Structure formats: C-alpha cells, structure tokens
Chains A and B, each alone.
Chain A
Amino acid sequence: MATNEHELEHLVSRKYKHGFFTEIEADTVPPGLNEDVIRFISAKKNEPEWMTEWRLKAYRHWLTMPEPKWAHVHYPPIDFQAISYYSAPKRPEDAPKSLDEVDPKLLETYDKLGIPLHERARLAGVAVDAVFDSVSVTTTFKEKLAEAGVIFCSFSEAVQEHPELVRRYLGSVVPARDNFYAALNSAVFTDGSFVYIPKGVRCPMELSTYFRINAANTGQFERTLIVADEGSHVSYLEGCTAPMRDENQLHAAVVELVALKDAEIKYSTVQNWYPGDEEGRGGIYNFVTKRGDCRGANSKISWTQVETGSAITWKYPSCILRGDNSVGEFYSVAVANNLQQADTGTKMIHIGRNTRSTIISKGISAGRAQNAYRGLVRVLPTAEGARNFTQCDSLLIGDRCGAHTFPYIEARNPSAQIEHEATTSKIGEDQLFYCLQRGLSEEDAVNMIVNGFCKEVFRELPMEFAVEAQALLNVSLEGAVG
C-alpha cells in the first residue's frame, strides 16, 4: 500500500513539475477531467489503491457512455471539461463573518421558514465557529451512537477507518457503470455520508446530515452509503428546507442503501436547491441516483422525499426487492414552479417472492414548470405473489404548466398484482374561491389546498421534518397564483 501511495504522490507531483497545477493553489484543480485529476482527488483523500482503481475504472467506462437524453427535461449541453472536480473546503476566512454579510433575500426566506437564528448562520455559510458552537450537541450525539455501535461518519473517514465495510458494499447497489451520472460520480466523488447499523440494533435517534460536521461542504458529487445489518433499523434524514445555494450548477449524487435480513431503512429527503430566478437562470441541475437494495428476507426500504428546488431535477429513488417478503415504498412530493423542470419517479424491481411495493407520487406544477413522473414496476419471473400499488396524482396551478405521467409496468410472473391509479387536477377556481369567500388570503388558500393534496406523503415524514416541509412548500409556491 505504502508504495502505491508513494507512486501516487509521485504521479501528482510530476504533474506539478509539468506545470499542470502551477497556476493555482495546491488545494484546487483547474477545470477539466482526466485520469490525473482523479488520481489527484484520490491522493488528496489519502485513499487506498483499490479505491483509486475503482474510480479510474468508473471514469474509463464513463468516457464510453452517452449523456442520457430521454428525461423529459431540456437544458443546454453541460461542458464536463469546464467543471472543476476538486476544491478544498472553504476556509473560514473566505466565509461571511456574520449574518450582516449575507444576502438579505436569503435571510428573509429563513425568516418565512421559521428557521432558528443560530441555524441561519450555519445555513448561510457563515464561518461556524465564529457564531455558534455545535460541539456539545454533536458530542453527546456521537457518544450515544457509539454506545449503540452505530457508525455514522463522512465517507472519507469511512474509507480510512472502515475500509473493509466500504469495499464490501460500495457500488454493490449502484454499480459504477450503472448510468452516466453514477459513473461520473464514482470517478470523482469527493465526500458524503457513511452509515453502518450493526446486527439487531435499532438506531437510537434519527440520523441527519445536520449532525455530520462539514456536511455543507460535501460538494457537487456526493456519495452516501447506508448499510443496515440483519434485524437493524435506521431512519435517515437528508437535506434541509433552507434554500441551498451553490456555485456548482451540476450536482450528481449517488446514494446506496443496503438492507439485510429483517432490516429496515427509512430515508427521508427534503431538498431545496436553488431553482434559479424566475427565468430559470443560475439554478442547480440535480441528477441523482438513489437506490436501495432489500437484500435480505423481510427487509424494508422506504423513500420519502419532498423536492422543491433545482432548475432541473432528475431523480428516481428505487428499490430492488431481492429478499423474499421484502417491502419497498416511495412517497414523493415534487414541486416545480416558474421554469423548473422535474423528472422524477421510482423503480420497484420485484425479484423475491411475496415482495410488495407502494408508490405514492404527488406532482405539483405552477408557473411555466414541467413536472414528469416516470415509474417502473418490474416483476421478475421469480417474484411469485408480488404486489404493487401505485398512485400518482398531479396538481396544476395555473394553465401554463404541465404534468406528465410515464408509468412502465413489466410483469413477468402471472401471479403479480399491480394496481395503478393516476389523477390530474387543477387547483380549481372553485376551491380557491371557496376559501377566499371564507376570508382566507389567496396565498393561504393555495397553501392549504396544496398541503391537503400532499397529506399522504407528509404523513410519512418524521414530525419536525413534516412541519418544515409544509412551510417550505408554501414558500416555494409563493406568487404561483394571481
């Protein structure tokens, strides 16, 4: 190993000599992607050789892959050579010193979302130790987890501390060659979260990226791996309701979940990337691969997501129901306003016997936004007795937006029972007038109707997240009517 690391360093420094990195600080690479850049990232993170090789293999495969074109979204071509694939976390000197230096509009939004003062600073990227000290919270948190034997750390840390676990499970759900963005992520990911719940352990608290130090700096290619060993249980919360801004337009994360026998993973996301201005300028492109593998019998994976952000969202949290009697669930609210485009949905792959899946998707479109649901339910011949229920509802606000539903059903076992229900409704002028006539403002009326529409999904979110999600939805749809 040592020699390999030495070689790597050598390689990197040779490049330095050739002037490749001379113009810039040692902690950043110039835009562009090639094998040297990947080696640089891997060396920076002090990764073992297998990890470097894994990245390189992904990269080489990526080079052969065409960019997907089939999603129901439109955007100018992305120049992958114009992106910088590694930059060190922002140093405290560069961050705003206090909230006074933060965009007032952002602060206004925090206010509307009811985000506590101390948190606003963190979210706005104010140098954390300058404003509030999260150490005590985090420490008690870490102690409690350690007691239970739960591993919850950054991905980089996991590669160092638990290489055998990472090596065993990384890419086992989303192979590096899975799709264009997953391959890219595999080659260049910089950080993310790692969770391991040991056999029979019920994680004593909800795990939230919030508690992971440096969570804000995981960058545009995030990698998350969660493994729930036999009989264990974990609930994981990703994201936050505050609008996240980022100079990086392209985000391509990969999330892998593994549930072994009798294990259960509940993964909740509230995602609110900057959607761009009213003309869609400057918004984030969010191309995510999320997949859960119910590897053992009686396991369960449940995805709940509330998506309001991004200029473009392309995302299909999926479940591979391999274990007999395993259960996959997908609850989703996707909001698209102004010029946002969302192409989301799920895939449920039934392999084991008596596997069950439920899909509840609520799409809301306002302004000139386009919202597409794309869902695949595949029942393999082995999946005797498989069942799926899909309910897919779209709500239109105004008449310049659109909703599209693309259900794909492949049943290759005659015993499969698949039910699909789909509705599209407009926020009725009738409903709106009814609320106005009772004295509600138009904004409150729309919020109320929309929240009612999303109820079945909000119910699945952890309590405090549900409240935030509701407030978030209200803010996202501000000005959608009228």
Chain B
Amino acid sequence: MLKIKDLHARVDGKDILKGLTLEVAAGEVHAIMGPNGAGKSTLAQVLAGREGYEIVSGSVEYLGQDLLELAPEERAREGVFLAFQYPVEIPGVNNVYLLKAALNAIRKHRGEDELDAYAFMKIVREKMKLMQMDPSFLNRGVNEGFSGGEKKRNEILQMAVLEPKLALLDETDSGLDIDAMKVVAEGVNSLRSPERAIVMVTHYQRLLDHIVPDVVHVLADGRIVKSGDRSLALELEERGYDWLQKAVGT
C-alpha cells in the first residue's frame, strides 16, 4: 500500500529525513517509535502533504500512485488520514459541519452521492457512541476549548467517520487518561481491516497492549534504524534508544 524509498526531506534548510525507507502493506498495523526530534511528525506531515517541507530525493508510492505528486486534499480524498499530534482549533466552525464537508468531499471524489443531513447524522451518532463522546461536542467549534484528551478523541472520531485507507496517527495516545486510551484503541481497532493500513507514532509501549502492531520500527535521526515485532517495543521500554543509536553509528 505504502512504499517509501530513501526519502530525504528538509525544513528551513535543515535536513530532517535522511534516507527513510519503509513499506506498509494493506491490513497491517505499524508502530513507529523513536526519540524526540527524530523526525516522526515530519514523516507524517510529509506524507500528508504539508507545505514547507522540501523533498530532496526519494519516492513515496501509495496504492500505485506517486503520493508526492498529489495535493494535500487529493491525498485525503484518496484515503490518507492524519490524526495530528496537535489538532488545531477553528473557532466558530461547527465540529459536525467540518466533518460533513469532509465526508462529502471524499464521497464526491469517489463518485458517491453526497449524504443528506439525516444519513450523515446517523453515521456520526454511531461513531460518537463508539468513541464515548457526548453529542454536545458536535455543535462546538472544531477543537475549540477542547481538553488535550478530547482533541485526540475527536481526531479518532473523524477517522472513524471518514474511514481512510491509510491512517497516520501521530502520538494519538499522548495526553490520554487510561480509560480514554482504551476508548481510542477500541476506535482504532474497529477500523482494522484487510484493506486498511495504520501507522501509529507513539512513545509508549502501553498503547501497543491495546492496539497490537504487526511491525515496530525505530526512527532515529531521520531514518528507520531498526524494525521488529512487538517485542522490540518491550526492549525499547527497558533499554531506551541509546544502544540503538550507538549500534548504527549515528
């Protein structure tokens, strides 16, 4: 589904991704761990198409297309979803209004009919229940005055409604209390399917107890320096990242 080859990217003249290679197949869940500032969020933003990141070299193939050629909204409509590490507030714009516009933009792109208010609300109510969110959130401004945890939950609600093919979750577990983490994990798990891939960035092995990954990667200094199964996460928890960085000579 996703093939990243030797990707080099920089921001403001600073090299951040330095030859990153990663392959994710449909149906898989990958976890990316790594020290602060390693480039995990940068990778997510580059995949989502944020402006300001200069792709120096390398390639990204998504479902057979050159992902880097697509505008951010086209990537989204093709099924790439990014749950942001820091979701922004958009005052005055109803949460539900943004969600409806988003879903209909995606449906239109797929050649499906736009949903009317009734059909749409049915879907949203169901997903809100799954995310154990109070309906009052729908009519509040997008993330306006949401607590840190509520914002994260709202990201997963959006994901559940939009049903992306490739979900990139950037530290969705950070700032969640224990119960909220379970709810979020349930939301993510409900989306696991053979046609879908999930890449989640996390600092805590605890999340992986709830969302069991197929592969765990370590991203350090702009590269994937080690990949393995779940046990790698446990090992990292015990030993930190130092030994790895030394081992690969960075």
Contact = CB atoms under 8 A, between A and B. Distances in A.
B96 to A, nearest CB: 12
A451 B76 contact: no
B87 A439 contact: no
B92 A453 contact: yes
Interface stretch (B10-18, B57-65, B98-106): B98-106
A436 to B, nearest CB: 4
B98 A430 contact: no
Interface residues of A, number: 23
A74 interface: no
Interface string B69-92: 001110111000110100110111
B185 interface: no
A92 interface: no
Given A429-B51, A433-B50, A452-B141, A438 B90 contact: no
A436 B93 contact: no
B48 interface: yes
A5 B141 CA distance: 63
A422 to B, nearest CB: 15
Interface string A436-463: 1111111010001101111110000000
Nearest to A430: B88
Nearest to A429: B51
B203 to A, nearest CB: 22
B124 interface: no
B72 A437 contact: yes
Given A429-B51, A433-B51, A448-B98, A439 B92 contact: no
Of listed A429, A433, A435, A439, residue having the most chain B CB within 10 A: A439
A214 B81 CA distance: 55
B88 A448 contact: no
Nearest to B168: A437
A437 B48 CA distance: 7
A439 B88 contact: no
A434 B89 CA distance: 9
B91 A434 contact: no
A428 interface: yes
Nearest to B86: A430
Nearest to B50: A433
A433 B52 CA distance: 11
Contact of A436 (B52, B76, B81, B141): B76
A221 B45 CA distance: 55
B131 to A, nearest CB: 17
Nearest to B77: A439
Given A444-B105, A448-B101, A452-B141, A436 B73 contact: yes
A433 B90 CA distance: 12
B92 A454 contact: yes
A417 interface: no
Nearest to A455: B92
A444 B103 CA distance: 13
Given A429-B51, A435-B98, A448-B101, A440 B73 contact: yes
Interface in B135-168: 141-142, 158, 162
A452 B92 contact: yes
A452 B89 CA distance: 11
Contacts of B92: 451-456
A413 to B, nearest CB: 34
Contacts of B93: 448-449, 451-452
B248 to A, nearest CB: 32
Given A436-B72, A438-B76, A438-B162, A431 B88 contact: yes
A429 B45 CA distance: 13
Contacts of A448: 90, 93, 97-98, 101
A441 B105 contact: yes
B101 A440 contact: yes
A439 B106 contact: yes
B109 interface: yes
A431 B50 CA distance: 12
Contacts of B109: 439
B90 to A, nearest CB: 5
Nearest to A453: B92
A440 B50 contact: no
Nearest to A427: B90
30 contacts: A428-B88, A429-B51, A430-B88, A431-B88, A433-B48, A434-B87, A434-B90, A435-B90, A435-B98, A435-B102, A436-B71, A436-B73, A437-B48, A437-B73, A437-B75, A437-B82, A438-B76, A438-B102, A439-B106, A439-B109, A439-B162, A440-B98, A440-B102, A444-B101, A452-B91, A452-B92, A452-B93, A452-B141, A455-B92, A456-B92
Interface of B: 48-52, 71-73, 75-77, 81-82, 84, 87-88, 90-93, 97-99, 101-103, 105-106, 109, 141-142, 158, 162
Nearest 5 Cβ contacts at the A-B interface: A452-B92, A452-B93, A438-B102, A439-B76, A455-B92
Given A439-B102, A439-B106, 19 more contacts: A429-B52, A431-B90, A433-B50, A433-B72, A435-B98, A436-B72, A437-B73, A437-B82, A438-B99, A439-B77, A439-B105, A441-B73, A441-B105, A442-B73, A448-B97, A448-B101, A449-B90, A451-B92, A451-B93
